[in-house]
Amino acid sequence: MADDILRVAALLVACLLGLWTAVACRRAKYHGLPGSDALVWAGLSAVFFLLSLIKTARGLGLLRGLGGFLRDFFKQRGWYEDRRTLQITASIAVAAVAMVLLIWGLLWAWHYIKRYRLAIGFAGLTVGFGIIRFISLHEVDAWNAYAPWARTVVDLVAAVGVSALAIARLRQLSAFAGSRYRS
């Protein structure tokens, strides 16, 4: 329970720092300062907000029964007996789609995110871990049973990494604003 509270708090801090950075970048752009990366920070903030909502809903037990519903749905369609093949196929499909979208997104928005690849990488770390956890291969389940603290570590590393980069960007924007008003 304490791990869940810590994870949600860390994800919310990253969300709020990302949002604050997005607003600061937007304001800086209006004042003629470098701040065209507001969209990147807003996206990171949204990702961490959604992750914190999911973790909160799971912690409160609001997602209880979803697994049973999905299991019954797959049994009705006759897909449950061959779920191992489906799980492996889904894992490969998720990885392939994520890579295609990542490459396409990087090529399309390269000029916006040159400096923020690390922040996006931190967010991708926790999102990818969550997707693979959702697919629930037996190997992943066994790994989670053996090291239950790993999910917390992944979320904390991602949240701390994005938070540190957001703070660095906020300091950079305040230095730009300070030098503009001094001269």
**pLDDT tens per residue across span 109-152:** 666 556 666 677 667 766 776 776 666 666 666 766 777 787 78
Cβ contacts of 169 within 8 Å, gap of 6 or more: 21, 24, 25, 37, 41
Per the domain annotation, does 46 fall within a domain? yes
71 within a domain of the structure (yes/no): no
179 falls in which pLDDT band (50, 70, 90)? low
In a domain, 74, yes or no: no
pLDDT tens per residue across span 32-50: 766 677 888 888 899 889 8
What is the tally of structural domains in the chain? 1
Does any domain span residue 120? yes
C-alpha pair distances (Å), 2 with each of 120, 152, 155: 27, 11, 14
Q: What local confidence, expressed as pLDDT, does residue 9 receive?
A: 92
Q: Does residue 95 or residue 75 have the better pLDDT?
A: 75
Give a yes or no: residue 169 inside a domain: yes
Asked whether residue 182 carries a pLDDT value surpassing 60, the answer given is no
Do 113 and 40 contact (CB within 8 A), yes or no? yes
Can you give the pLDDT at residue 12?
Answer: 92
Question: Could you tell me if residue 104 is inside a domain?
Answer: yes
H or E stretch including 16?
helix 2-30
The predicted-structure confidence for 68-88, as pLDDT tens digits, reads as follows 787 788 788 877 777 777 777
Per the structure block, which two tokens stand in for 36? 């065209």
At 114 the pLDDT is 60
- The range of the structural domain enclosing residue 141 comes to 2-64+100-182
**Measured between alpha carbons, how far is 78 from 74 in angstroms, rounded to an integer?**
6
